[in-house]
Each structure stands twice: as structure tokens, then as C-alpha cells.
């Protein structure tokens, strides 16, 4: 039985995308891929939960990562994002949606985090790949030890990337 909250005004795919901090086109890729496309392009809370689950959406940040004394914003974000990926086990062969790395951040911090993630991808510390659910990222096996040293001890080859931020 449908719940009233489901049948009252349902969110359009655009509004749902805003709520989930995800581009509507990326959201459409997921709902089509997972056979969750609704006939009227609207979603109630129950349907939206299914979408969140199917897409593997996670919000990693409640507050922006804190900057330690002497650290640039980029350095703080790099420390935080690699720590978050490492603790969540986002290590090859497992991967996470790329937008999980930004969800929950304010627009300015989100833009800074994008730059950091791009720098990490360029340096080969992270790898990205397109999947049927969208762009995903992971720590490749080849850089795992270096990332571990950086996250746990603040040392290793990854420090070079950190210094440049």
C-alpha cells in the first residue's frame, strides 16, 4: 500500500537530483540502468530510497574537513578524502561513485575538492572509470601502500602531491 507521503506531491527527477546533490543526467543514467525510471519522472520518498540504494549514493561529509595549522585547503581536503576512501575500503577492486566524494560539501569546498581529486587522478594516486552507474574512483592497488603511509603516518610518495596543493 502506498503511503500518503508517497502520493502527496512527489519530487521531480530534477528536485530529487538537487536533494541528492547529483546531476539529473547522472541520476537518469542510474534510474534507467536500474529500471527505476518512473512514468511521470516523479519520485516519492520510498522510490527515492530505492534510487539512493541502487546508485550507491553516500554522503561522506556533514561538515567540511578541518584545516590544520599551516595547511592549505587543498592539503586538508586531500588528507580528508584519502582518509575517507581508505577507511571505507575504496581500494581496487572496490570503487565508489565519484560524486560521493563531494556530497555534503558546500559549493565552494566542493569545487576545491574536485580540484584535489583531479590532481590525485592526474598523479595516479586515484584512478577513475566510467560505469553504468556513472563515474567511479578507487585507490589502485599499485598506490595502496603509498596512500596508507600518507594517511597513517603522513609520509610516502603521495606527500609530493600533497605539497603541491
Partner 1 sequence: MNVTSPEGAPVRGTTGPDSGQPPSLPQALESLLRWREGAEVAVVGALEDISLEEEDVGRQLAEVSRQVKALAALRAEQEALRAGLGREQRRLELEAVRSCLADERRALAERNFLWNAAARLRESTLQERLADPETAALIADWERLSSTEALGSLPFSYRQARAEQRDKVWSRLAPLLAAANAPPDLRDQPALGCSVVLATEPAEGRPETLVVVIPVPATISKEWATREDDLLGFLSWRVVSVLFMLLREIDALDAPLRSVDLHGSLALTVWLGDHTVPEDLQERTLDLFQAMTAEATELEYAAVELYAMWVSPGLLATES
Burial class (CB in 10 A: 0-12, 13-18, 19+), 49: exposed
Note whether 159 and 150 are within 8 A (CB). yes
Instruction: Verify binding: residue 63, partner 1, rule CB under 8 A.
Output: no
Query: Considering only residues 65-124, where is the footprint of partner 1 by CB under 8 A?
Result: 107
CB of 123 to partner 1, least distance (A): 21
CB of 86 to partner 1, least distance (A): 26
Instruction: Verify binding: residue 140, partner 1, rule CB under 8 A.
Output: no
With CB under 8 A as the contact rule, which of the stretches 29-37, 59-67, 68-76, 152-160 interacts with partner 1? 29-37
- Which residue do the cell numbers 565519484 mark? 98
Instruction: Verify binding: residue 15, partner 1, rule CB under 8 A.
Output: yes
Instruction: Verify binding: residue 33, partner 1, rule CB under 8 A.
Output: yes
Question: Containing H/E element for 82?
Answer: helix 73-87
With CB under 8 A as the contact rule, which of the stretches 27-35, 50-58, 78-86, 111-119 interacts with partner 1? 27-35
| Total interface residues for partner 1 by CB under 8 A | 31
Kindly report the backbone phi and psi dihedral angles of residue 136, in degrees, each rounded to the nearest multiple of 5, phi listed first: -130, 155
CB of 101 to partner 1, least distance (A): 17
Chain centroid to Cα 153, Å, comes to 24
Strand ranges, E, within 34-89: 42-43
Amino acid at each position: 500500500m502506498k503511503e500518503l507521503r508517497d502520493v502527496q506531491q512527489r519530487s521531480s527527477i530534477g528536485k530529487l537530483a538537487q536533494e541528492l546533490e547529483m546531476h539529473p543526467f547522472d541520476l537518469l543514467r542510474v534510474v534507467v540502468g536500474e529500471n527505476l525510471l518512473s512514468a511521470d519522472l516523479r519520485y516519492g520518498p520510498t522510490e527515492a530510497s530505492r534510487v539512493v540504494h541502487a546508485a550507491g549514493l553516500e554522503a561522506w561529509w556533514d561538515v567540511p574537513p578541518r584545516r590544520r595549522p599551516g595547511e592549505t585547503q587543498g592539503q586538508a581536503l586531500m588528507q580528508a578524502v584519502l582518509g575517507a576512501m581508505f577507511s571505507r575500503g575504496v581500494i581496487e577492486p572496490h570503487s565508489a561513485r565519484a560524486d560521493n566524494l563531494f556530497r555534503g560539501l558546500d559549493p565552494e569546498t566542493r569545487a576545491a575538492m574536485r580540484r584535489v581529486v583531479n590532481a590525485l587522478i592526474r598523479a595516479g594516486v586515484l584512478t577513475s572509470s566510467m560505469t553504468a552507474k556513472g563515474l567511479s574512483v578507487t585507490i589502485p592497488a599499485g598506490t595502496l601502500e603509498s596512500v596508507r603511509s600518507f594517511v597513517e603516518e603522513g609520509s610516502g610518495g603521495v606527500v609530493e602531491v600533497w605539497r603541491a596543493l
